């Protein structure tokens, strides 16, 4: 049985690569028995999704700004 430190390390690795069948099984078993690690995994998943959405939104805004025509310079106010 893996401990919490090993489980959290595997959760981090799982975000970047596929785990072996043995690691996946061990992690699944651990998170079924450990509510703290199960919550940690949910939080990591939420944060990763939120970051991806933020990056996508920023890329959309940057693309829109690049495609928009330049605004004309402000005109001088009429003389008083």
Number of domains in the chain: 1
Q: Is residue 25 part of a domain?
A: yes
The first and second tokens of residue 6, run together, are 């090993």
Q: Is residue 34 part of a domain?
A: yes
Is the pLDDT higher at 1 or at 12?
12
Q: Is residue 80 part of a domain?
A: no
Model confidence at 61, in pLDDT bands (50, 70, 90)?
confident
Is the pLDDT higher at 63 or at 22?
22
CB atoms within 10 A of CB 27: 22
Q: Is residue 68 part of a domain?
A: no
Q: Which domain holds residue 26?
A: 4-57
Q: What burial letters (b/e) apply to 1-12, b meaning 16+ CB within 10 Å?
A: ebeeeebbebbe
In tens, the pLDDT along 16-60 reads 999 999 999 999 999 999 999 999 999 999 999 999 999 998 888
Is the pLDDT higher at 79 or at 12?
12
């Amino acid at each position: 049985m893996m401990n919490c430190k090993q489980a959290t390390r595997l959760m981090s690795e799982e975000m970047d690569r596929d785990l072996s069948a043995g690691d996946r099984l061990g992690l699944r078993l651990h998170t079924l028995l450990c509510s703290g690690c199960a919550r940690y995994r949910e939080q990591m998943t939420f944060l990763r999704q939120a970051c991806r959405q933020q990056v996508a939104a920023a890329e959309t805004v940057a693309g829109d700004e690049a495609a928009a025509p330049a605004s004309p310079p402000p005109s001088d106010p009429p003389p008083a």
